[in-house]
Amino acid sequence: MKTAVITGASKGIGKAIAEKFAKENFNLAICARNENELQQTKNDLLKINATIDVLCVSADVSNKNERENFCKKVLNHFKTIDVLVNNAGTFLPGNIADEPEGRLEFLWQTNVLSAYEITRYFLPNMLQQKSGYIFNMSSVAGLQAYENGGSYSITKFALTGFSKNLREELKDKGIRVTTIYPGAVLTDSWKGTDLLKERFIMTSDVASVVFNAYQLSDSSLVEDIVLRPTLGDI
């Protein structure tokens, strides 16, 4: 049975991806900050597929020690890592000129360094088995500047660069790398909005494109996936 590691998996896009891989009979290693929500997610995943093994570790990936602890527990529990989804991230709007001091540093740790260091932790495992798939969850904010993007957009552009370099380094090592660029997805970030759900991407759609990309033969790769609401960006 194969294993998928998914960060930020207690809700939203991460949980939808975990549910999709559970349906496809993958063991799962998941992390999130809220331990109660994480345990509930584990219960939900086992209701979908009671035959899989689900390791859940409470971890704030913006904290170096916590993300390292998560990685160590995963490798102590599972022998091989087949899929890594660097999904954890935080959106905070702002302008470079007047956003709070330390905003860039916090978002850098959460949105960039977490993916960089977690990937480096699991890469030796993938390189040894000469196979693996890495998905990095970016944003349309990592493709073009937009109002109130600030440090968030900077970090997503950086994640795009990380993905491109990683893909180039690993293309002849049996490891594929795909970057996902969602627009507005109907998650808790939009809680309280008066916009109709039809204006948003569904989390299940993001999960579907991730798994569909994974299913391609080893000789093919979808490098970048851009998803936007059918009616355009919000």
Q: How many CA atoms are closer than 13 Å to the CA of 6, on its beta-carbon side?
A: 30
152 tagged catalytic: yes
**According to the 3-state scheme, what is the secondary structure of 130-164?**
CCEEEEEECCHHHCCCCCCCHHHHHHHHHHHHHHH
Please report which helix (H) or strand (E) contains residue 21, including its range.
helix 12-23
Q: Which two tokens stand for residue 17?
A: 């991806």
Considering the candidates 133, 152, 181, 214, report the single residue annotated as catalytic.
152
- 100 DSSP assignment: P
Comparing CA positions, the residue from 80, 198, 227 lying closest to residue 140 is 227
Contact 203, 187 (CB under 8 A): yes
Q: Which two tokens stand for residue 215?
A: 């299913």
Catalytic residues: 152
